Amino acid sequence: MNIHCDIDGTLTKDGAVKWGEPREDNIDAIRAAAANGHTVVLWSASGERYARDFDKRYGIGASVCLAKPDVCFDDHHDIRPDGRMEILSPDRMASWVWSHGVPREEK
């Protein structure tokens, strides 16, 4: 599974604050997904360096850390016409990952 995940407001509680209070359930879920071989891309409007530092601080193990794109181009504009790419709120992130077969790690 390919999972692209924003940081501020998704892995943290406040989207307007860098290094805000972590959403531990979402961080645990995305860390477990990465540990179980899923491709995890962390991205942030705050840039690639911030995404890398966040990944390191929380031991997520992301495959890639990026700045959010300003624009995205794709020659397959109809590749997801039936809504196969889910866009979910941060409040649903952890439960979605767990419900898609990623095993929980013991703390």
Digitized pLDDT (tens) for each residue of the chain, 107 residues in all: 899 999 999 999 998 889 999 999 999 999 999 999 999 999 999 999 999 999 999 999 999 999 987 766 667 666 555 555 667 778 888 888 888 888 887 76
Kindly state whether residue 22 falls inside one of the protein's structural domains.
yes
CATH of the domain at 59: 3.40.50.1000
How many domains is the chain partitioned into structurally? 1
Angle at Cα 7 formed by Cα 41 and Cα 105, nearest 5°? 70
Query: Are residues 10 and 90 in contact, defined by beta-carbon separation less than 8 angstroms?
Result: yes
Per the structure, the complete domain to which residue 65 belongs is given by: 1-69
Kindly state whether residue 7 falls inside one of the protein's structural domains.
yes
Is the pTM for the entire model greater than 0.95? Answer: no
Tell me how far apart the alpha carbons of residues 55 and 82 are, in angstroms, rounded to a whole number: 32
Q: Which residues pair with 64 in a beta bridge?
A: 41
